[in-house]
Structures are given as C-alpha cells and as structure tokens.
Amino acid sequence: MNIAVIGTGYVGLVAGTCFSESGHDVTCVDVEEAKVAALNRGVLPLYEPGLEELVRRNRDAGRLHFTTDLPLAVGRAAVVFIAVGTPMAESGSADLQYVLAAAEQVGRALRHYTVVVDKSTVPVGTADRVREVIARNTVHDFDVVSNPEFLKEGAALEDFLKPDRVVIGTGSERARRIMGELYAPFVRTENPILFMDTRSAELTKYAANAMLATRISFMNDMAALCERVGADADQVRKGVGADKRIGYAFLHPGIGYGGSCFPKDVRALMSTARDVGLKLDLLRAVEATNARQKKSLLTKALRHYGDLSRHTFAVWGLAFKPRTDDMREAPSVDLIEGLLDAGARVQCHDPVAGEAARRCFADRVSYASTCYDAAEGADGLFLVTEWSEFRHPDLCRLKSLMRRPVIFDGRNVFDPEQARGEGFTYFGVGRG
C-alpha cells in the first residue's frame, strides 16, 4: 500500500518508519528542505532508541522516502496521515492551523479515493473540520479517520509495533476495512483494534493522557502529605498499587510530569470543556499539583541552605524522562531557572539532551561530559531524570568530588540509608 505521512516530527517519523517496516511504500513529507535533506542522509531531527537504524534500513530498502513534494506524495497514496504539530495556544487549546493547512493541501492534491487520517493529537470535532476543508478543495471521494497515537517517548517503536490497542474513529466501512488491513500486522497478539466514531476517538487520546497525569499528581499529593506526617511515599505506593483495581503504573512520586503530551493535553482537554460550558475541576487540581511539584526540590534547597547565591549545584538529567532528548516542559527547566534566579551556578549533565539544553539555557549553565564531572566542586546534587547510569553511582567517589555531600533525589532513585551511611545529607520525595 502507498502511504503518505505529512510531518516528520516525533509522531510522523515513527509512524512512517514503522509502516515501511511492515512492507508498505511510505513517503514522509515536510516543508523544511534542510530537514528533508538531513533525513535522506540518515540524520534524524530527534532522539528515539532504535529509530535511526530502522529509518536507515527501510530507506536503503527503497520503502521509505522523504520529500518536500506534497502533491506527488498525496497523489499516489491510498492513505494519507496528517501528523503535523498542534502547539498550545494562549487559551490552552490546541492550535489547528497546521492541521487545517495540511488538509487544504491534501484536498488539492487528491487524485482518487483516499483515506485521510488525523494522526496528530487534536480536539473533539477536528475530523469534521478537516473533512469540510478537504471537501472544498477536491472533487474526489475520501474519508477522514481519527487515529490517535499512544506512543511513549523512549519506547515508541515498541509501542507502535506491538500496541496494546489501536483506536480508529470512522463511520465508513470502506475506510474501516483499509485501516484494519493497514494495522493487521501489528495486532497479531490479540491486542484489539477499537473502532468507534471520530469524536470518541479524538476524546480517547486526551482522556488517556489526562488519566495518567492525574495518577502522577495524586501520588505527588500523597508524597507531600507523607513528608508532613512522617510516612514513606514509596511504602504507601506499594500498598496502594497492590490493589489490582489500581495497579502500580504511574504511581511513582517525583518532581512532576513534563514533555510534549501530558501538559498540553491536560490543558487542551480543559479548554474543550470550557468551550461547552463545563469546568473540569479535577484536572485544574492535577495541573496545580504538578506546578507545585516542579518547585519542590528548589523549595527544599532554599530551606536547607537559606541563601543559594555563590553556591554551585550539579543537575543530573535534563530531558523530561529517560531515553529521550525532549526538554519540553521538563522539570529540570523550572529547577535550573529557579537556581539561576537565586544566584546559583549550575553544572549539568544528560546522556543525550545536551544540545536541547544549549538551546534552552545557552551559556547560563555549564555542560559536563559525565555525571561525575558535573558533580565536581558542587554544594549539592539534584537528580532530576532517572537515567539508568545515574541509579548506582560510586557514592564514595561522588562524595570526594563534591564540596558539600548533599543529594536532592527528585525520582527516589537512591537508597536513603545507603546515601546517609556514606555521609550524604539526603532529601527524597515523600520520604518522611
């Protein structure tokens, strides 16, 4: 099957590559000539484990192509995925200008019946708007399908190739058959394709991310309470998660969620509710808890040191989560900005997010090539992102490098007793 994917960001590049891996002929389209040229050389615009190798293999096999020529790609495609960005507007709603612009171009480029798929995360009713735009610009038959993605950064290939479910919103039997054929290779382990109407599919994506964000904020509220009453949030988490109705996923206390999905999708869902006269008070609280939690380590540092000026701090981990270089709304940004505002000096290290950090902080912080280099001469260490290489450091070596042996563990990675036994002052999240 010939497939066109418009947009070579995270969603578009992963989807296009994985469809080509299953044998389809895929053309990915982007307006940025430099980006397309780089992709044709095998240089990716983002970091995702395993993706570079998969892109290279399918490009070399002639199944994966990159171009700026949208009419050519769309004109020969049986299925066109719209996977462009939906940045957050000032109101908190998703900005659909790129989706609707792509829809207009798709309409002009259609040459035969085509299934047009909204792959971008979009508000309820977007499929209807896309359908109207395309209809104004073509005489050919088409169907618009909502097919939200559920990819976790750092595990996107596994999520796409072995999904726990595929959600497809359509009222067309013809489109349903084509989409079922397209996804059949990925659901052979009995994980379902869930067919529904387009509006339900659109809302499912937002509801899923809002639920996960809610679990995180709930556990962080419990962690804050644990600190006040002398309980241990890790033990509480284990006791709560043992209930099969609840489970353990997304119940780890920490310094808040970030990334391109949870913050944006929670706000977009609240915006959708406001548009129909509904207040989602629970999600307002979720967002407020997350904002507080991002400041929690800085609050503890201010309480411990008093004045942070003329102090040097190491920050381990900059990306919002491990196995990605994405720093969008990362807790590290709030922490580092707070430290800099307080007059502190910051030495940071992240295994892959160094370039993203330079775009964010420029020369206001120093960048270390190793976690130990970042800790040298530091008055305190903040662990922000739980990369595997940070989980078992040589605490004796770490202590010898630091000016003051103080650890602020934002992910509860370290054993508090072990750290204190090595002479560190230790602060975790919700640990009494």
DSSP for 94-124 reads B--HHHHHHHHHHHHH--S-EEEEE-S---T
Position 138 scores a pLDDT of 97
Instruction: Describe the crossing of helices 126-135 and 97-109 by its angle, rounded to 10 degrees.
Output: 40
Strand partners, 426: 407
In DSSP notation, 299-320 reads: HHHHHHHS--TT-EEEEE--SS
Position 189 scores a pLDDT of 67
The DSSP secondary-structure symbol of 378 reads -
CB 327 within 8 A of CB 356: yes
Among residues 261, 348, 360, 371, the one annotated as catalytic is 261
Position 93 scores a pLDDT of 84
- pTM of the entire structure? 0.92
Position 284 scores a pLDDT of 97
**Binding site residues for NAD(+), as ranges?**
30, 35, 86, 121, 153, 264, 328
DSSP run (H or E) holding 75: helix 70-75
226 catalytic residue (yes or no): no
CB 410 within 8 A of CB 254: yes
CB 33 within 8 A of CB 66: no
The SS3 assignment for 158 reads helix
Position 91 scores a pLDDT of 78
Give the separation between CA 39 and CA 31, rounded to whole angstroms.
13
Give the separation between CA 99 and CA 79, rounded to whole angstroms.
16
For residue 370, how many other CB atoms are within 10 A of its CB?
11
What are the structural domains, with CATH classification, of the chain? 2-196 (3.40.50.720), 205-292 (1.10.1040.10), 295-427 (3.40.50.720)
CB 19 within 8 A of CB 58: no
Among 273, 283, 220, CA closest to 251: 220
Give the tens place of pLDDT for each residue, 139-197.
999 999 999 999 999 999 999 999 999 999 999 999 999 999 999 999 876 779 999 99
**Binding site residues for substrate, as ranges?**
150-153, 205, 250-254, 258, 321
The SS3 assignment for 326 reads coil
Among 325, 324, 320, 378, CA closest to 347: 378
Three-state helix/strand/coil letters over 129-155: HHHHHHHCCCCCCEEEEECCCCCCCCC
The alpha-helical segments, DSSP class H, found in 162-295 are 173-183, 198-229, 233-241, 262-275, 281-294
> Percent helix, strand and coil across the chain, each rounded to 5?
45, 15, 40
Among 97, 81, 67, CA closest to 14: 81
**Binding site residues, as ranges?**
30, 35, 86, 121, 150-153, 205, 250-254, 258, 264, 321, 328
Task: List the chain residues with pLDDT less than 70.
Answer: 189
Which backbone phi and psi does 64 adopt, to 5 degrees? -125, 125
Give the separation between CA 359 and CA 367, rounded to whole angstroms.
12
